[in-house]
Chain A
Amino acid sequence: MLKSQTDMSGFAYFPHTEDDIRVMLERIGVRSLDELYSDVPEPFIYKGEYDLPDALSEQQVRDFFESLGKKNTQLKVFVGQGAYDHYTPAVIPYITSRSEFLTAYTPDQCEISQGTRRYIFEWQRMVCRLTGMDVANASMYDGPSAAAEALRMAVACTRKRNKVIVSTKLQQNVLDVVSSYLKYPDIEVVFAWDVLSALGPDVAGVIVPSICRHGVIQDLTGIADAVHAAGALLIEYCDPSALAVLKTPAEWGADIAVGDAQTLGIPLCYGGPYVGFLACRNEYMRKLPGRIVGQAGDASGKRCFVLTLQAREQHIRREKATSNICSNESLMALWATVYLSLMGPEGLRKVNELSCAGAHYLYDELLKTGRFEEAFPGKPFLKEFCLKPLVDVEKLQQKLLDAGFFAALELDGYVTFCVTEKRTKEEIDALVAVVKEVEL
């Protein structure tokens, strides 16, 4: 790193001049800034120099990150597995970077946070319309943690049941996060490929994906009936973008819908920030974790939006809590809300059409190369699929990387691909040409 050329006489984020500091110390009645720490036992005052770089100027910081950015390889992304390269309309970052949204705290101060509350209300309603559920919360950290919270919620909704069934058809990071979340409160977790085989009278909830980790669209016929007959709740993990065309969790008979809304135009950004959603049927509303915005009126009857069933940072139900989430991923919920407003039902359907057409084209072309076999013949998929490789996977991946493609991620002995509306026919053809160069 360059040696600093920062002018040490001042710092742009600290407005205090020497005179200001003197005036303030006088008012307080102490002689020095150090005296403000007279209550800290002397051994705990750090006297060494911090092991940090020299302060950089703004231009140096910009150059530094530019140089780091150049160390990344920019690839055409043909992989999903929980993070999808959909197009981001220019309007979204323009709106979300408005400082009134960006630099606000969580909307606790009702009268001056109506902007945030209104878009959260809109987000909740859009989540309900996508999933068919009755009520949604203000958002979750991401899809995997939302899945874990939903399972906990199922335990809270069903008295004296402490076991949940988790479909191993879910993506790996969902399985990992669920395992961690449920390990310590001592909820028994059964991982099963066939969830119905593990059903019993002690089961509180069952979670299944609407599209499995291999990309296959799931036929959930009969699942809800069986789960409900056992007295348990059905949770469906879904891709909200795909819900524009696929059967909704409500239509499948699910009680809770969760997932990651990253597919709604949120950039990949090396894994975050994304945003999770959690929605349920009316009867479970009071067990929804996090916060919910509701519509009400002010004293003069003006429409306003309030935090209902609120779990504020300081007011959260302390030791009786069944979830500790209070804030959410507000700005990313705004991101997805603006996306859905721009897309509308028709735009979102077209995103699916383009992704689906591209994915099936790639699927057919890859099979024609003779370097793959079908992994799940005849099974329907939308934008993501798996193939059985007949070539050395490492060599295949390396060749693709060298040509600028991130594709053919290894998964359960298969390789996985994904095509979004951002991928052009030229890019797909170029990828297939590279595959053809891999020796059989």
Chain B
Amino acid sequence: MKYYDKLIFELSHPGRTGYSLPSCSLSAAETPGNVQSSAETDNTAARLFSGEQSFVRESVPNHLLRESILELPEVSEVDVVRHYTNLSQMNFGVDTGFYPLGSCTMKYNPKINEEIASHPLFAGLHPLQPDETVKGAREVIEGLDAALAAITGMKHFTFLPCAGAHGELTGLMLMREYHLARNDNARTKVIVPDSAHGTNPASAAVCGLQIVEVKSGADGLVDVEALKPLLGPDVAGIMMTNPNTLGLFERQIGEIAELVHECGGLLYYDGANMNPLLGKVRPGDMGFDIMHLNLHKTFSTPHGGGGPGSGPVGVGERVLPYLNIPRTSGFHGNFGVMLRAYAYILMLGKQHIKMAGPLATLSANYIKESLKDCFKLPIASVCKHEFVFDGLINDGARDGKAGATTLDVAKRLLDYGFHAPTIYFPLLFHQALMIEPTETESLETLDEFIAVMKKIAAEAAEDPDILHGAPHNAPIGRPDETSAARNPILKA
């Protein structure tokens, strides 16, 4: 990766043009009549609308017009193409290399999905067109709904949420609707395990719910005995991800579901960790009432550098009557993302889906077993799609010299051409290093990664400073993020 230090504004040259627009096909006689004379215009507006005849100025009273000059870049088309091509080359994507980012499911994004998502027979549809003119689009939504229901054991999905956290919010709104409809108004608490994704309590908070944390036991699983006293008539429900963020299957989920239902609460399934269950276990069968999926994780749609994603929310029988009440986005959700996910599911079909989860689980366990002699493995049981190390076994600390941290390991990986794992999450361990390989990586790729991780462990044991200074080969070194957060330059 090479360093490139321009912003598009810095390429601007007054008078340069990057657009191609038609000239107005209306003759002067057909254009709107004068609302005001041009004598009324002040200097700024005159500069803004200088040159040719302005229909806008003739149609809109002067005091409703923009006063200030609009400073956007003035660049040619080739300037734009080179600039953004250069920017792209400072980025690492799944197509660049292995991306073992825990809880993010960075699987390969099939290219046929992209072709379908930009298909002109879908791209030109207006969201308010009558149903009889969008039969194909409706079939996509219905087909995807049916497929996701079959895969998860839920009844139906709403596709309005545009991301996982957006799905959580929508799902919790459904939880509230369920209780409100039963006049069960005292249920304002939601139970969240201490290993939960940070978005869970945040979503609950913005949905007006109080968060009650339930502790994990030494085995990394929800402590059922600690859960029992928390349950009561004020509990709206529990949010869980299974497997949890340690990659461990919550094997007491059957008992937990019974307990929560008995007390009148609902179970919410955070689908961020659905990938190992794909083709193997259905959340609906475990007793979950509401769940979200991340189509950009489990169903192979690209993350896009942070969206657009899609976080459809599925419900079981109990919550079904309320499914369409929360309106959390403007039209039908991110339809373009739904097209991609549906294409992926049709490629998987009933045959290949059965291998998706198991192969993801195989890859994770293979890395874990191969590296446990170099990295601390706090919980040794079989994992699902991901697992967590708690730092290096030998971090090289000696004679007052600081050892290599998880951050250092992550940064050193960049030098060897791999993306870093998720670090310092979950919060249960101080040096957490969370690795999720997915099912789309070959044995050779996993072996290369394992070899590099061992090499980094050896480097740390020998001289942790090699790691402290990493990355050495990236376009930039480590930034000074603290000073930026205190004194950010957000606008130059």
Contact = CB atoms under 8 A, between A and B. Distances in A.
B20 interface: yes
B115 interface: yes
B7 A118 contact: yes
Given A184-B207, A317-B202, A65 B362 contact: no
Interface in B434-452: 439-443
B421 to A, nearest CB: 10
B122 A72 contact: yes
Nearest to B369: A28
B351 A54 contact: yes
Interface string B401-441: 00000000011001000011010111000000000000111
Contacts of B400: none
Interface stretch (A201-209, A299-307, A369-377): A299-307
Interface in B109-149: 109-110, 112, 114-116, 118-130, 132-137, 139-140, 146-147
Contacts of A119: 84, 87
Nearest to B114: A97
A268 B127 contact: yes
A39 B168 CA distance: 27
Interface in B299-313: 300, 302-309
B92 A113 contact: yes
A104 to B, nearest CB: 4
A309 B485 contact: yes
Interface stretch (B54-62, B227-235, B389-397, B459-467): B54-62
A46 B84 contact: no
A360 B55 contact: yes
B355 to A, nearest CB: 6
A158 interface: no
A21 to B, nearest CB: 7
Interface string A385-409: 0000000000001000100001001
B90 A382 contact: no
Contacts of B181: none
A280 to B, nearest CB: 11
A296 B381 CA distance: 43
Contacts of A75: 124, 126, 129, 133
B86 to A, nearest CB: 8
A331 interface: yes
A29 B369 contact: yes
A426 to B, nearest CB: 8
Contacts of A294: 484-485, 488-490
Given A247-B64, A295-B489, A324 B336 contact: no
A28 B333 CA distance: 42
Contacts of A85: 124, 126
A246 B60 contact: yes
A44 B18 contact: no
Contacts of B286: 44
Interface stretch (A170-178, A189-197, A227-235): A170-178
A113 B305 contact: yes
A24 B327 contact: no
Given A89-B19, A294-B484, A14 B168 contact: no
A170 B80 CA distance: 35
A69 B162 contact: no
Contact of B330 (A41, A98, A102, A274): A274
Contacts of B332: 270-272
B480 interface: yes
Contacts of B350: 49-55
B31 A99 contact: no
Contacts of B22: 354, 421, 424
Given A68-B140, A245-B65, A308-B488, A353 B55 contact: yes
A325 B165 contact: yes
B241 interface: no
Contacts of B91: 100-101, 104, 107, 112-116
Nearest to A173: B330
Interface in A33-78: 33-34, 36-41, 43-46, 49-56, 58, 60-62, 64-75, 77
Interface in A362-382: 364, 380-382
A256 to B, nearest CB: 15
A18 to B, nearest CB: 12
Nearest to A251: B67
A152 interface: yes
Nearest to A67: B136
Contact of A114 (B197, B343, B476): B476
B367 to A, nearest CB: 10
Contacts, number: 700
A16 B411 CA distance: 29
Given A297-B479, A302-B3, A142 B87 contact: no
Interface in B241-280: 248-249, 251, 253-254, 279-280
A353 B31 CA distance: 11
A16 B443 contact: yes
A307 B306 CA distance: 13
A331 B307 contact: yes
A183 to B, nearest CB: 8
A75 B133 CA distance: 9
Contacts of B490: 124, 134-135, 285, 292-295, 308
Interface string B273-301: 00000011110011000000000000010
A273 B383 CA distance: 35
B359 interface: yes
A44 B134 contact: no
Contact of A331 (B305, B475, B476): B305
Contact of B249 (A39, A53, A56, A122): A39
Given A16-B362, A319-B201, A105 B17 contact: no
Nearest to A426: B25
B323 interface: no
A154 B136 CA distance: 41
28 contacts: A11-B352, A36-B382, A37-B361, A50-B150, A51-B350, A52-B350, A53-B346, A55-B346, A55-B352, A58-B347, A65-B119, A77-B124, A77-B126, A94-B81, A99-B93, A101-B91, A105-B303, A180-B173, A183-B173, A217-B60, A269-B125, A273-B337, A302-B5, A304-B479, A324-B206, A342-B19, A356-B32, A361-B32
Given A11-B352, A308-B488, A324-B165, 18 more contacts: A6-B349, A61-B347, A73-B129, A73-B133, A93-B118, A109-B92, A221-B63, A273-B162, A295-B490, A298-B479, A313-B165, A314-B103, A326-B165, A345-B69, A349-B48, A353-B55, A382-B56, A397-B130
